[in-house]
A and B are shown apart, each in its own frame.
Chain A
Amino acid sequence: MSAGLKPSRQWLITLPSLAWLVVFFVIPAILVILTAFRPTDLQGGVGAGWTLETLREVQDPAYLPILWRTLWLGGLTTLVCLALALPMAFQMARVGERMRQVLLLLIVIPFLSNFLIRIFAWKSLLHPEGPLTKLLIGLHLIPENAILLNHVGTVLLVLVYTQLPFAILPLYAAAEKFDFGLLDAARDLGAGPWRAFAKVFIPGVGRGIISAAVMVFVCCLGQYVIPQMVGGASDEMLGNKIAQRVFSDRNLPHASALAGGLMLAVLVPMLVVAFWQRFGRKEAA
């Protein structure tokens, strides 16, 4: 094999996937941002010419509470997921190989089962005639006429439920590489179990925490099915507005402006993390 042929062979092997991703991932993403600057037409398509009108429409103050709700629901979901996933990753990394495989499978199965079914499961569990409502009323924990569905708390609960595996898996991957001898050393030097966990284990899996947090937070930002199915009318997130603009109003430029904003909001923190990790790797080397 001559050196001159190598680059062309590389291109030949890389081209199919690269071309596919450019055509169906990069170009569409750019198109969304461009569409935000196009006028609408009555058929629900995109008109000719360019305009800044849509950008003015998107600055509607009515979006502020929705944006704020999207951010705090995402942030709170991330915190709850980390709080549950950290001790879990810790535990999984310490048990024997067999138990570990079983636990992994137990986490992956709900994760792989249909997203809608998992939401539906909560919907029927929390239904006014459903088992959980009946149980809680029976135990006198909630009033007779309490409604568990259609509440912002329900949205949070189901968000945590669907995002938990996204937090557990990267944290487990980090915890698996963690040297647990350090923890014993900290304990030997007089640290209590909590102190050792907080001061040695948590910094030790720091990178896993960052990837888990970014993963969960970013996924939450784009949610719309969960608030639509288990939330009330006033629990909408940004995603609901995007879907409404596309399917109810048939206003593609307006939806694109919202989606484009969300896309930038998602890409910027991710690029920051990517650069941070690259920088961190160099530092370690």
Chain B
Amino acid sequence: MKRSWVPALITFGVILFLFAPLVVLVVNSFNASRFGGEWEGFTWNWYEKLWAAGEVWESLWITLKIAVSASLAAMALGTLAAYALHRFRSGLQNVHHMLVTLPLVMPDILMGMSLLALFVLTGVETGLLTIWIAHVTFCLSFVTMVVLGRLQDFDFTLLDAARDLGATQAKAVKKVLLPLLLPGVLAGGLLAFTLSIDDYVITFFVSGPGTTTLPLRVASMMKTSRSMPMINALSTLLIASTFIFAALSSRLQRRA
């Protein structure tokens, strides 16, 4: 029986559609033409300009500080949450599971808006701390899901074996469960890190003076067409780092 070529064609078309704008962006970051309408020769000019733009690197530093600390906290909370969800079956865990999954489907604007309402009503000044709280909140669910997927493959009789051989519960967890779970936790952490670096909408709602993260900086640069080629260069660097992170994360998740 002959298979239809239509699904293959559509798949090819969709991949092309997904990548075409990104490819144009990367190519234009080396294009001497300002608007990238046509090719006017190769240049490093935009990267040099970007290198000289101090405020961009300042924003990158703020973004990295938040991303590292938020993903570490989300890794700790998410791993515990996944363990609880996997180990226990109860009404409590049903509620817990619902609370963990809801943020995954909540539109960003609502999450930003509700956290802003919380901070305004409790009189907490928006800034680094509020951004960190917001990032931990949305990363937590993603880490939990990744670790939970990993736990489903974990053979819990290994823990019993460790206990039979004389290990304490704490020692069995530390020496058996955690090392085997580590790739899943790291994969979740990497995902959290990527999400934190990329977030614009939620951060916009809870940011304060002096906390312009990289996406906020990009958004304000997008308003002036003068800096458009510089965004091309910055985007190319960001896409390249996303590529590396995605590859690393999928390697970690695959290794058994």
Contacts and interface: CB of A to CB of B under 8 A. Distances in A.
Interface of A: 10-11, 13-14, 16-18, 20-22, 24-29, 31-32, 35, 45-46, 84-85, 87-88, 90-92, 94, 101, 103-110, 112-118, 120-125, 127, 129-131, 133-134, 161, 164-165, 168, 184, 187-188, 193, 214-215, 218-219, 221-225, 229, 239, 242-243, 246, 252, 255-256, 259, 262-263, 266, 270, 274
A16 B144 CA distance: 13
- Top 9 nearest A-B pairs (CB, nearest first) are A222-B107, A129-B35, A121-B21, A17-B81, A28-B114, A91-B7, A28-B118, A87-B7, A14-B84
B18 A161 contact: yes
Interface of B: 1, 3-4, 6-8, 10-11, 14-15, 17-22, 24-25, 28, 34-38, 76-78, 80-81, 83-84, 87-88, 90, 92-93, 95-96, 98-100, 102-103, 105-111, 113-118, 120-121, 133-134, 136-137, 140, 144, 194, 197-198, 200-201, 205, 215, 218-219, 222, 228, 231-232, 235, 238-239, 242-243, 245-247, 250
B93 A118 contact: no
19 contacts: A10-B93, A16-B76, A18-B96, A21-B137, A21-B140, A32-B114, A35-B117, A46-B121, A84-B10, A85-B14, A108-B250, A109-B239, A117-B231, A124-B36, A125-B24, A127-B37, A223-B107, A223-B109, A262-B110
B100 to A, nearest CB: 7
Given A187-B1, A229-B222, A242-B109, A115 B99 contact: no
Most A CB within 10 A of own CB, among B1, B17, B110, B144: B110
A31 B10 CA distance: 45
Summarize A's interface: helix, strand, loop or mixed. Answer: helix
B24 A262 contact: no
Given A20-B140, A22-B99, A87-B6, A112 B194 contact: yes
B105 A103 contact: no
Summarize B's interface: helix, strand, loop or mixed. Answer: helix
A114 B11 contact: no
B235 A114 contact: yes
A134 to B, nearest CB: 5
Contacts of A255: 113
B117 A215 contact: no
B66 to A, nearest CB: 15
